[in-house]
Structure 1
């Protein structure tokens, strides 16, 4: 139960060579869209989005500040976030993390000292659903007699 790692850890080396850095002293105003890794040590005034379908990683250092929402699969926060966090993968809140907003997560790791001034919302990863070809086909809103089920009511009967 305690101490057993049942979740998937974030692979920092996976993004080596594909990491963008916003250095300390830099400030960006506007939304940021990225893939690979993003390391923020400066200030971003805007939303952070990862390219859909990627295993992107956002790292916010102790000096970093984000004023906006975060929508990234894997997030490591050790700075300040003024907005909501949406992560279908892994969220790690380090000891200096301060989030003023809600954290929507699938897996979360919080270190003593981290702070969330909002709600923690567990969102399970959505399974990929295949389109079913077993669904009954109807035309022009009419129900076929063999599609009425066990109710015994024929919905396709004419009304007078």
Structure 2
């Protein structure tokens, strides 16, 4: 869905030290460095990206096209296109995805549910450390 240059811009930020209580709908891109106690849902009618940084805590459902997690999430995660789990990602909840990239160290406590288009197999990629020569 996204080429390297075609990703939507991140236009909104929940800064470290901020706390949101309640559901949030967003368009295009959102980065969370603080705490969110509620659902984070992207507009399904346009491409979206959600970044949960290493310091971030989210307690609620997540729904976006491209989801990058390196913090803590308690709740279901739905990545309509790509889910990237960075080394410090911690998820307590079921995860659905079309494509998954998981780095060593990421932890999921829940079920993995690939979203299949017909008989298509889900794309799984284990992100390995590159060896230096």
What is the CA–CA distance in structure 2 between the aligned matches of 1:25 and 1:111, rounded to whole Å?
Answer: 27
What is the CA–CA distance in structure 2 between the aligned matches of 1:9 and 1:102, rounded to whole Å?
Answer: 24
Match of 1:73, SS state, is strand
Q: TM-score with structure 1 length normalisation?
A: 0.69
Q: Give unpaired runs (5+ residues) of structure 1.
A: 1-7, 127-160
1:27-106 alignment runs, 5 A limit: 27-106=19-98
Give the CA deviation at 1:13.
6.7
2:130 match? none
Q: Give unpaired runs (5+ residues) of structure 2.
A: 119-133
Pick the structure with more strand per residue.
Answer: 2
Higher mean alpha-carbon deviation, 95-104 vs 18-27, is at 18-27
Give the CA deviation at 1:87.
1.4
Q: TM-score with structure 2 length normalisation?
A: 0.82
CA-based RMSD: 1.8
CA contact (8 A) 2:8 2:47 kept: no
Aligned residues: 118
Any idea what the Cα deviations from partners look like across 1:49-86, whole Å, max 9, x if unmatched? 10122110000000001100001111000000000001
1:111-122 alignment runs, 5 A limit: 111-122=103-114
What is the CA–CA distance in structure 2 between the aligned matches of 1:11 and 1:50, rounded to whole Å?
Answer: 20
Point out which structure has higher relative CO (alpha carbons under 8 A, 6+ apart).
2
